[in-house]
Amino acid sequence: MELQEWKEMSWPGYRREDGGLGIRNKVLVVYTVECASHVAREIALQVNHPDVEAIGFGGCTDNAYAIRMLLALATHPNVGAVLAVGLGCEYTRAERLADAAKARGREAAYLLIQENGGTLQTIGKGVELVHGMLVKLKDTPVEAMGFQDLIVGAECGGSDFTSGRAGNVAVGRFFDMLVETGGTPVFEEIVEAVGLKGLLLERAADEKAKEELAWTYDKALAYCRSVRQYSVSPGNFAGGLTTIEEKSMGAFAKSGTKPIKGVLKVAAAPPEKGLWLLDTTPDPHFMQFGITNPNDNEGLMALVSCGCHLTILVTWRGNVTGSAVAPVVKVTGNHETYRRLEGDMDFDAGLVLEGQSTMEETAAQLAGYIGRVCGGHRTKGELLGHKEFCIPYKYQEKEAARRPCEG
């Protein structure tokens, strides 16, 4: 696929009143505390619609990070309506979420279990409200959108030697072409850049970006040291990787080759088009509810909270997870993994290593698949009903750090 063909590809997008374009038209049922999670999930279950999802934050203690994530997800381009469900006495206020969604042009309402007669009454009212929202969403304006309108996130998990030779490389090629068409790729996992500080800084678009990248790298390295855990696992070693630096080289390949505009914080939208790094590690702070629990879905949700219309998960051993709010395209660079888990994996980049496809052909095929997903084609995870999400307690400042480069 030539660059001009990429520029000409288009599909129907859902126009939001705040100017955003979405590739899905979802209703979110958002719980604001674990005490309300069953009611929220039961509302979504009883409505039984593929575009109705229950998400939320289980904590009762005030956590600005989680609240920013919920606010970002409630106003995501793929979301057309929000029902916030709270118990009634928690820090995270259901009415605030509904008001924020309504202010951005979404259909929105909230229910407090303590004020609506308990479990059954709240579920009944919630089901009625969501059915009404689905009817109204049928009238959402539609207009053409293309790769220049897309924000696409990427992370990798369960890596082996094929990730850095095929899976992540194919995504990196796609990211390069996405930048060339005016789109916005976002890559995650600064803890999987350990050992690559020099390479990272060489890719900085300007001095401000270089300062952000340097501070973010140093913070991530200090965090890994403090918890005595680096992003490398027995599964990586079984897959042929030998060191964290070797894994980092493969993981970094998914960022492609374009200049890095700067660093995003979780729940912050890219301020301009181009390639961005998402920082998901906690900022230094006295708050310690325990070590943050990083996992593939936490990373995916962090990418989605930045406005990513869809995400790409590159894996060797395979992964069955999906994601709430935005589709997940699961890519493997290992042909045997794709064959074994074909019901869950979306794209086989391992054909490059089998000699059946060039890297350029593979990247073009991946682009074609992503274009079809944007146009309404359901990923394997969507068809199977995977809507996982994870929002942990964490401390992180709203803005990217801009501190002098040290060392």
Domains of the chain: 26-139 (3.40.50.2300), 147-384 (no CATH)
What is the Cα–Cα distance from 152 to 146, expressed in whole angstroms? 12
Close Cβ partners of 368 (under 8 Å, ≥ 6 residues apart): 1
Q: For strand 11-15 and strand 21-22, is the pairing parallel, antiparallel, or unpaired?
A: antiparallel
pLDDT at 199: 92
Give me the pLDDT at residue 176, please: 96
Q: Which helix (H) or strand (E) holds 362?
A: helix 359-374
Could you tell me the maximum CA-CA distance found in the chain, to the nearest angstrom? 64
Q: What is the mean pLDDT of the chain?
A: 89
Q: What predicted TM-score, i.e. pTM, was given to this entire model?
A: 0.92
Rg (CA), the chain: 21
pLDDT beneath 50, residues of the chain: 237, 404-407
Using CB atoms within 10 Å of the CB of residue 263, give its burial: 0 to 12 exposed, 13 to 18 middle, 19+ buried.
buried
Contact 295, 323 (CB under 8 A): no
Confidence (pLDDT) at 404: 46
Residue 267 has what DSSP assignment? T
The pLDDT of residue 202: 96
Please report the sign of the dihedral spanned by the C-alpha atoms of residue 201, residue 207, residue 209, residue 214. Answer: positive
Task: Quote the pLDDT of residue 400.
Answer: 67
Alpha helices, DSSP H, located in 104-180? 119-137, 168-180
Query: Which tokens in the block code for residue 84?
Result: 């916030």
Structure confidence at residue 217 (pLDDT): 92
Rounded-to-integer distance, Cα 56 and Cα 44, Å = 12
Question: What is the layout of strands, in order, in the sheet containing 79-86?
Answer: 52-56, 26-31, 79-86, 107-112
DSSP element (H, E) containing 162: none
